[in-house]
Amino acid sequence: MSLGIFSVKNSQSKSIFEPAPAYVKAIYSMPVSFDPIKMNDGASLIFSELIYEGLLRFTDDYGVWPAIAESWTTSSDGLVLKFKINPLAKFHNGEPITASDVKASLSRNVSSESLVYKFYDVILGAKDYFAQKSEDVSGLKVIDNLTFEIHLEKPFPPILYVLAGGTAKILPSKYINDEGFFKKPIGSGPYQVEEINDKEIHLKMFSGYHGNGPRIPKMILELLNQEEAMEKASRGLVHDLSSWPMNGKEEVFKSGQDISSVVADTWIIGLNTRFPPFDRLENRRLFQQSIDTEKFRTTFYPDAKPAFGYIPPSFPGHESLKVNFLETAARVPKELVELYIPEELSRSQEMAHFFEEEFKSKGWNVKVIPTKWEEMMKGYNDKTLGAFLVSMIVDYPDPEFLLNNFESKNLDNFSGIKDAKIDELILSSRKTQDRIERQKFQLALAKRVNELSLSINLFHSRAHYWIHECVEGFKPNLLAVAYTDYRKVSFDQKCLKRRELWNKK
């Protein structure tokens, strides 16, 4: 799971971008990391999808498609996945991609540095490698220059989703350990890096791309806060505001396209059981029951779907009706509760006021602290935040990846919950190959997570993406906007000329 959030203010952008034909996509923060194995936020994943290429790729509706791999097969016991590498696939420096590059890249995903190890731990030998008990991942095998095998500990079909995701990217083994590699990384994706500075990332079309390459020669990822981005978009200087899921009512939608789509996300106030008063279930439940989430949703995100549980729509365990837990007899605790919300949210002050008023009316001593996104991310990773508002994005079309966040030993367990039943259910789910049987465990898992009241579930968003009127081929991705396929996006040149004339007038 990755965390998505919004805009970064005070960016005094000194734009060096050129007007069209460069495609300007506004981003709310610079990528936290350019290294796929350390990516845990939306901006990084956007970058990853443009610059890097994995063995597989997601289609816009949860499907998996070949990317660097020309074809792949799975053994009948489900333990071995064999990939044929496309001989035309090249890195941006022109060097061909080999099975050794695949091994080196995927090995990094299960190394001790990896923040995404949890997705790959089913690979044979991953555990030892992660624990630095071995120097080689035995399950990653180079068969020949263009053939590669992945051996699994046990059959685990969702591994294909992991390999299509934003962290399973193939990098050139020759240069990957070079110092400064990620300052101007070399990938094999449809775009290559021209320049990265504090506010902008300049990309150009990779002419040696092995498949159907992009149609837009230049692309700029520009760091802007939401107001600036919308203002520039209104003037036609930004072409893509899809980093901000909006509600379609914004002024900017008076021109341009409104592309609306469901998003596999859930907006929550995460509760950290490591600190009181949320170490106690009755306190968490009381806190959860103290806020009218529907009021919040209808006030701030009326287009979104109500959330009655942690799991977003479309996935097993999603609750479409309100679940009433028994009223708790606990009294409202006296401790001060600090609730962190991202400062970059355009109505963060209003939200802070809303939460404080709501909780105070129920007797809680709550202080809402609007915080910069970077600081929040740090606190999130360090598990120092007691309560925090974030959007949880489903990276893979399988709820296990969302729910294993609550596993006791998961390093990314924001709640810090240690629940034997959750652990057991996750274990059972991963052991089970049968799709239907697995989903039964996942249903139970989702139910258990909801029972433990580890989050206040605010809503599941329905995004409205603003796209410039002269842009064609933008298709939302049902999984995450980061997976948008920019190879298919192009400009309507006639429309651009018309706009240009209109602007001159």
Partner 1 sequence: MEQEVIPFKDFIIKKMKGQLIGIPLILALVISLSTSLIIIVSFANSDKAFVESVAPHIATLLETQDRPEIQRFVRAISTKKGAEVEVIFNNEIIASSFSLERIGTEFEKGIISLPFLDLKFNAGKLMSFTIARRENGWGGDKALIGIYLNWTPVIYLSLGISFIVFIFTFFVIKWPMMKIICETQLSLKHLSLLEEGISKLQNKFEATEIPPFPISELESIRSAFVTSQSKLSETNEKLAKSKAKEMASYAYKNLIHDLHVPVTALRNHLKIMGLERATQEDRENALKRIVDLAEQVLKQVKSARSHLGLEVLLKNEDIVESVRKATNNAQIASFDKPNIEIRAVLPDEKLMTSHDSILLGRALSNLITNAIEAASKQVQVELSKIEDGVSIKVNDDGEGLGQEEVSLHLQGRGKSTKNERMGIGLASANHIIRSHGGKIIYQSSSLGGACFEVRLQGDSV
Residues found near partner 1 in the complex (CB under 8 A): 60-63, 259-262, 305, 313-318, 320, 397-398, 435-436, 439-440, 443, 462, 475-478
Say if residues 490 and 473 touch (Cβ distance below 8 Å).
Answer: yes
Half-sphere exposure for 439 (CA within 13 Å, toward CB) = 9
Q: Which CB atom, from 80 or from 262, has the smaller least distance to partner 1? A: 262
Q: Is 94 exposed, middle or buried (0-12, 13-18, 19+ CB in 10 A)?
A: exposed
| In the complex, minimum distance from the CB of residue 460 to partner 1, in angstroms, rounded to a whole number | 9
Give 26 or 478: the residue with its C-beta nearer to partner 1. Answer: 478
Select 84 or 438, whichever has its Cβ closest to partner 1.
Answer: 438
Output 257 or 289, the one with its CB closest to partner 1.
257
* H or E segment to which residue 463 belongs: strand 462-467
When the beta carbons of 239 and 305 are compared against partner 1, the nearer one is 305
Q: Which two tokens stand for residue 501?
A: 């004339």
Quick one: 127 or 440, whose CB is closer to partner 1?
440
Q: What is the DSSP letter of 280?
A: S
Minimum distance of partner 1 from residue 270's CB (angstroms): 23
Query: 467 and 490 in contact (C-beta within 8 Å)?
Result: no
Q: Name which of 32 and 444 has its Cβ closer to partner 1.
A: 444
DSSP 327: P
Beta strands in 275-324, from DSSP E residues, in sequence order = 305-306
d(CA 440, CA 422): 13
Cα gap 379→386, rounded to integer Å: 10
Q: CB of 394: closest distance to partner 1 in angstroms?
A: 10
Six-digit token string for 33:
């990391």
Q: Is the dihedral of CA 101, 106, 112, 116 positive or negative?
A: positive
Smallest separation (angstroms) from partner 1 to the CB of 317: 7
Least distance to partner 1, CB of residue 259, Å: 6
* Coil, helix or strand at residue 479: coil
Q: How far is the CB of 314 from partner 1 (least distance, A)?
A: 4
> C-alpha angle with apex 206: 202 to 209, nearest 5 degrees?
150
Structure tokens at 272: 């950290």
Least distance from partner 1 to the Cβ atom of residue 457, Å: 16
